[in-house]
């Protein structure tokens, strides 16, 4: 078996989700190559070469890949993919954007968001917002897969010494252009990588009240998330959404504040090790999955929690 892992990176650094995806590749067994497609992405490539278990890092360093537009990168992946039995990418917005496009170019039915590797062609994946786990078997020659990071323990970021090879292909479809981006700047850890996550829901009432959560987060070294209700209400930006259609998290500790616990939210956090729920409604479904439930007014409980940490 030969496996191609598509690196998640921002040219300057390798994103943690790549290491979880390499772990899924290891579960398959076989030689693992990592593709770093970007522009001025040497540092990301060097980081990928240090990851445990990687045989080769293939670098496509070209202006066409600077912003990793799906139209251009999918052409590259499809061209390279013919030489592999498996192509894996993290199930991040980047992987979800690009990989299905590459799969269709290869005439392959992609397999989204796998949570376990059963064999070389059989995988488990959640459907219906995580209410059902399906075991699926692929009959395609190449398996094209996105990997749910929380389901695989990341390989070590250091210790590997993969060979780095430059590719001189440039596939520019010329049909799309990057205009700009607004990225949230935060000193807190990334939601999907944080050991502790504290999330607010509709019960927070407004964006200003999230300050209470930020204060607790800073004491715990936590990331701050939100339910869909809080994002839809405009309290906080979309990149904070935890749930079926937002980010999937599985930290050591998840604290849900003023979140009722719709199944779409639970789908994004129920694999957390320890779940705490603070809600004034004792009937809230969040308490059915919480290890520790506190029925209380969050406007009293959260400042008190802040004081006791």
Partner 1 sequence: MKILVAVKRVVDYNVKVRPKSDGSDVDIANAKMSINPFCEIAVEEAVRLKEKGVASEIIAVSLGSKQSQEQIRTAMALGADRGILVETDSELQPLAVAKCLKALVDKESPDLVILGKQSIDGDNNQTGQMLGALTGMPQGTFASELENADGKVKVTREIDGGLQTVELNLPAIVTTDLRLNEPRYASLPNIMKAKKKPLDTTTPEDLGVDVAPRLQTLKVEPPAERQAGIKVADVAELVEKLKSEAKVI
Residues 51 to 110: which contact partner 1 by CB under 8 A?
67, 69-71, 74, 78, 92-94, 96-105, 107-110
d(CA 190, CA 142): 32
Give whichever of 55 and 285 is closer to partner 1, judged by the CB atom: 285
- Provide the minimum distance between the beta carbon of 94 and partner 1 in the complex, in angstroms, as a whole number: 7
**Of the candidates 95, 94, 39, which has an alpha carbon nearest to the alpha carbon of residue 65?**
39
- Provide the minimum distance between the beta carbon of 22 and partner 1 in the complex, in angstroms, as a whole number: 19
Residues 23 to 52: which contact partner 1 by CB under 8 A?
none
* By CB under 8 A, residue 237 contacts partner 1: yes
- Provide the minimum distance between the beta carbon of 188 and partner 1 in the complex, in angstroms, as a whole number: 13
* By CB under 8 A, residue 173 contacts partner 1: yes
* By CB under 8 A, residue 140 contacts partner 1: yes
Helix/strand/coil (H, E, C) string of 28-51? HCCEEEEEEEECCCHHHHHHHHHC
Which region among 30-38, 81-89, 149-157, 233-241 touches partner 1 (by CB under 8 A)? 233-241
Q: Give the gyration radius of the chain's Cα atoms.
A: 20
- Provide the minimum distance between the beta carbon of 282 and partner 1 in the complex, in angstroms, as a whole number: 8
d(CA 125, CA 82): 24
**Of the candidates 234, 236, 288, which has an alpha carbon nearest to the alpha carbon of residue 261?**
288
Give whichever of 50 and 270 is closer to partner 1, judged by the CB atom: 270
Which region among 30-38, 44-52, 80-88, 181-189 touches partner 1 (by CB under 8 A)? 181-189
> 93-105 vs 70-81: helix axis angle to the nearest 10?
50
d(CA 292, CA 5): 39
Select from 194, 253, 257, 259 the one that contacts partner 1 (CB under 8 A): 253
The helix (run of H) or strand (run of E) holding residue 22 is: helix 17-28
d(CA 47, CA 263): 37
> 298-308 vs 210-220: helix axis angle to the nearest 10?
20
Give whichever of 39 and 294 is closer to partner 1, judged by the CB atom: 294
* By CB under 8 A, residue 244 contacts partner 1: yes
- Provide the minimum distance between the beta carbon of 40 and partner 1 in the complex, in angstroms, as a whole number: 18
Residues 109 to 138: which contact partner 1 by CB under 8 A?
109-113, 122, 126-138
């Amino acid at each position: 078996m030969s496996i191609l892992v598509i690196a998640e990176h921002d040219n300057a650094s390798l994103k943690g989700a790549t290491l979880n995806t390499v772990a899924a590749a290891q579960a398959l067994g076989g030689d693992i190559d990592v593709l770093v497609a970007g522009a001025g992405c040497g540092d990301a490539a060097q980081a990928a070469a240090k990851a445990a278990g990687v045989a080769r890092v293939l670098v496509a360093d070209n202006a066409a890949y600077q912003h990793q537009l799906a139209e251009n990168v999918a052409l590259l992946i499809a061209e390279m993919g013919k030489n592999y039995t498996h192509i894996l990418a993290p199930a991040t917005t980047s992987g979800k954007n690009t990989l299905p496009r590459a799969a269709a170019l290869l005439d392959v039915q992609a397999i989204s968001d796998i949570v376990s590797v059963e064999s070389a062609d059989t995988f488990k994946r959640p459907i219906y917002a995580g209410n059902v786990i399906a075991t699926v078997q692929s009959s395609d020659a190449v398996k094209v897969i996105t990997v749910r990071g929380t389901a695989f323990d990341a390989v070590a970021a250091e210790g590997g010494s993969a060979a780095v090879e430059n590719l001189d292909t440039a596939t520019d479809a010329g049909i799309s252009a990057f205009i700009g981006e607004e990225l949230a700047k935060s000193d807190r850890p990334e939601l999907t990588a944080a050991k502790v996550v504290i999330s607010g829901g509709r019960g927070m009432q407004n964006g200003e009240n999230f300050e209470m959560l930020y204060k607790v987060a800073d004491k715990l070294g936590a990331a701050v998330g939100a339910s869909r209700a809080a994002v839809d209400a405009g309290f906080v930006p979309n990149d904070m959404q935890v749930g079926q259609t937002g980010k999937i998290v599985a930290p050591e500790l998840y604290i849900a504040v003023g979140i009722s616990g719709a199944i779409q939210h639970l789908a994004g956090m129920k694999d957390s090790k320890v779940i705490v729920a603070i809600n004034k409604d004792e009937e809230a479904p969040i308490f059915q999955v919480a290890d520790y439930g506190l029925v209380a007014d969050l406007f009293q409980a959260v400042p008190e929690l802040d004081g006791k940490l």
